[in-house]
Chains A and B, each alone.
Chain A
Amino acid sequence: EAAVTQSPRSKVAVTGGKVTLSCHQTNNHDYMYWYRQDTGHGLRLIHYSYVADSTEKGDIPDGYKASRPSQENFSLILELASLSQTAVYFCASRTNAEQFFGPGTRLTVL
């Protein structure tokens, strides 16, 4: 079965600090995605990538950067964390038929 892992699983950050969330997949999938989950909003796409060294903006990219240094790894970077970025973040990779999600990272910005 497809395997997507995320680290850390939870993090507390201070406002204005830098946060990096990491995602690793062992499925050889081209497409990878970062979503955030908020109650009442569902899952919203932040950034995605379909090839190493290239990233694309999703629906809510403001305040986030992404990096895809290899096919297996995809990071989400918050250069200046803000209170509004407190959420659960999910990484996913995709086959033609299905997206496979990682376990999520719970980020709390204080």
Chain B
Amino acid sequence: GDSVTQTEGLVTVTEGLPVMLNCTYQTAYSDVAFFWYVQYLNEAPKLLLRSSTDNKRTEHQGFHATLHKSSSSFHLQKSSVQLSDSALYYCALSGASSGSWQLIFGSGTQLTVMP
């Protein structure tokens, strides 16, 4: 079945420095969309980025991600993190394979930005 892997459970970065959160996936289908959701403390997950186009950079709120089907990756990056970026980040995919277009989430990466 489809799966999403986020290898880092916790990432700590100093304010103003760059960050990359890793996301790789496995899927047998080509008609798939990829997402990054962000969840702030005691809040609901919210969509940050969405992409289904290979090798196209997608940006929102200073974050960007590029889907690379050749390496099955959809890493999230930011060039200069802020204290307010501290949150839990989920990578997810959604595709026709599930029949329900459900989101299949990775285990999440907790990003902590230090002053």
Interface residues of A (CB under 8 A from B): 31, 33, 40-45, 48, 50, 56, 58, 90, 94, 97-99, 101-104
Contact = CB atoms under 8 A, between A and B. Distances in A.
Would you call the interface of chain B mostly helix, strand, loop, or mixed?
Answer: loop
Given A97-B50, A98-B47, A40 B100 contact: no
Given A56-B100, A103-B43, A43 B90 contact: yes
Interface string B83-115: 000000010000000001111011110000000
Contact of A42 (B43, B46, B50, B106): B106
Interface residues of B, number: 17
A90 B102 contact: no
B101 A42 contact: no
A45 B99 CA distance: 13
A41 B3 CA distance: 12
9 pairs of A and B residues whose beta carbons are closest in the complex: A101-B44, A42-B105, A42-B107, A43-B105, A42-B108, A98-B47, A101-B45, A45-B102, A48-B100
Given A101-B45, A101-B46, A103-B43, A42 B102 contact: no
